Amino acid sequence: MNFQRASGILLHPTSLPGPYGIGDIGPQAKRWVDFLAATGTRLWQILPLGPTGYGDSPYQCFSAFAGNPYIISPEVLLENGLLHRDDIIEAPNWLAQQVDFGRVIPYKLGILERSFIRFKNTFPAKIQKDFDAFQTAQAHWLLDYALFMAIKDTQQNRSWVEWPAPLRDREPKALQDFRQQYASEIERHAYFQFLFFQQWHDLRAYVHQQGIQILGDIPIFVAHDSADVWANRELFYLNEKGQPTVVAGVPPDYFSPTGQLWGNPIYRWAVHQHQNFSWWIERFRAVFSMVDIVRLDHFRGFAGYWEIPGGEETAIRGRWVSGPGAALFQQVEAALGELPIVAEDLGEITPDVVELREEFGFPGMKVMVFAFDSDENNPFLPHNFTPNCVVYTGTHDNDTSVGWYQRADEQIRDFARRYLARGGSDIAWDLIRASWGSVAVFAVAPMQDILSLDNKARMNFPSKLGGNWQWRMKSGMLTSSLSARLKEQNTLYGRYFFNEN
């Protein structure tokens, strides 16, 4: 894929400001897009958009196809007549820079429930027609997802492996009886998805109108407690009760002596290949209908992945197993055409991973906060880049650049200062400058680095339970001086994008 030189900012919609306790895809998102356009920034990078569950991680969703109902905008629902002002009860006093998921989720679901009731009572013909068309077009995943979520509601949100066996095992009569008894509950979840995709596609059209592209994200694995696994058990290594016999993770390394036990079920790749990777083709098709470019998370797992026996408490006892390799991407490319993909190729990278990435021309990733812990041969130093890569100051899994610098050993800090020819007092923008000035085709920074925020603004601590994915940008942070500063970097380093619309 021949990408054009550009810059981008990583900011998930949940991190946008707004009055409802969590960022959403309404007016504040369009103001954010206006900021990107004014600075000549071409790319808006986001995290996966799926419905989050336990732990609130966008990488552990109830579906690989559905959207997150918590980021539906109440303001847009008001504009469309799907809410009344009286339907939005007085909002709690939310924290300005943090999402309190424990309070936000029931609050937002309450608003959506009132919208559904209003929809059912008023029955607006145009919206009903659009809803019917949406359900027909998305039936291949929506029927199972809405049913899955409705059953979860009746089972106190327990994992599907803990449901009564007839529902767990999808016995036809049990599902038929449930559909009849809980038709309204099933329709409600389909309605939430209708609202999400209606708003998202409207926002994406606005993004394109401003000449901007959305860089999305596909996690390689899906959550065990998901409609995808429940409805497609033959595609995963599971026992007769639905429990994974092997799970995903990464082996012990310098950062973690016990590795990382992710717990996601492993694909039966032979079955996927026998089915001509049809599930994967639909997954890519769905994501590319929502974003323009995809960051493919844990790309090395498509060449080879760390397989851990089910029931293990750490990732120590695992083994490397070959992934689907080129066969998967050949099939997806044959179905969808050239793939605008960025390969997240961080971690333990072997020659087969590099070979797979290069065979399809996918740019890999470089991360500046990893660049200064060795010597001049470090592959993350800009003088070692090739153009076909994407450089990040840091990612959602790292500390912010300011937080990293504050905690780094003095030897690392000294190397960074000497390499960057700066004193370190403005380290986030020192790294932005070095990234933007590199030959990398894309240069991206998390919004926390654009704002020079410290460790308190970190998005995720891998392997840490709770307290993640909460950071929000305060209203008023998108100042004219910040806009001018970013525009200057884009202009100086040939990354400024002129919108011709």
In this prediction, residue 462 carries a pLDDT of 84
Q: Is residue 244 part of a domain?
A: yes
CA 415 to chain centre: 33
In this prediction, residue 1 carries a pLDDT of 78
CA distance 386 to 395: 20
Q: Is residue 377 part of a domain?
A: no
Mean pLDDT of all residues in the chain?
96
Given a cut of 70, is residue 465 above it in pLDDT?
yes
Q: From start to end of 78-148, where are the E strands?
A: none
Q: Write the pLDDT tens digit of every residue in 303-324.
A: 999 999 999 999 999 999 999 9
Q: Is residue 92 part of a domain?
A: yes
Q: Degrees (nearest 5) of the Cα angle 297, 235, 238?
A: 100
Q: How many CB atoms lie within 10 A of CB 487?
A: 15
Give, to the nearest 10 degrees, the angle between helix 326-336 and helix 351-359.
20
In this prediction, residue 176 carries a pLDDT of 98
Nearest residue to 66 (alpha-carbon basis) of 323, 289, 326: 289
Residue 283 φ/ψ, nearest 5 degrees: -65, -45
Q: Is residue 209 part of a domain?
A: yes
Averaged pLDDT for residues 216-235: 98
Q: Write the pLDDT tens digit of every residue in 344-403.
A: 999 889 999 999 999 999 999 999 999 999 999 999 999 999 999 999 999 999 999 999
More confident residue, 15 or 95: 15
CA distance 122 to 120: 6
Is the sign of the CA dihedral 136, 142, 148, 150 positive or negative?
negative
Q: Is residue 428 part of a domain?
A: no
Give the CATH number, domain containing residue 66: 3.20.20.80
As annotated, the active-site residues are 297, 344, 397
In this prediction, residue 253 carries a pLDDT of 80
Q: Is residue 273 part of a domain?
A: yes
CA distance 391 to 438: 8
Averaged pLDDT for residues 330-338: 98
CA distance 436 to 441: 9
Contact between 203 and 29 (Cβ < 8 Å): yes
Token duo for residue 408: 């780094």
In this prediction, residue 124 carries a pLDDT of 82
Nearest residue to 197 (alpha-carbon basis) of 114, 286, 281: 286
In this prediction, residue 255 carries a pLDDT of 66
The tally of domains found in the chain comes to 1
DSSP code, position 264:
E
Weakest mean pLDDT among 88-92, 132-136, 148-152, 439-443:
88-92
Position 224: which residue type? H
More confident residue, 462 or 113: 113
> pLDDT band for position 294 (50/70/90)?
very high
What's the pTM? 0.97
In this prediction, residue 348 carries a pLDDT of 81
Q: Is residue 368 part of a domain?
A: no
Given a cut of 70, is residue 501 above it in pLDDT?
no
More confident residue, 377 or 96: 377
Q: Write the pLDDT tens digit of every residue in 245-255.
A: 999 999 988 76
Domain range enclosing 10: 6-363+441-484
Identify the bridge partners of residue 348 per DSSP, sorted by sequence position: none
Given a cut of 90, is residue 86 above it in pLDDT?
no
Listed in sequence order, the residues at least 6 apart from 224 whose beta carbon sits closer than 8 Å to its beta carbon are 159, 161, 244, 247, 263, 264, 265
Q: Is residue 385 part of a domain?
A: no
CA distance 300 to 284: 18
Residue 332 φ/ψ, nearest 5 degrees: -65, -40
Pairing of strands 304-309, 319-322: antiparallel
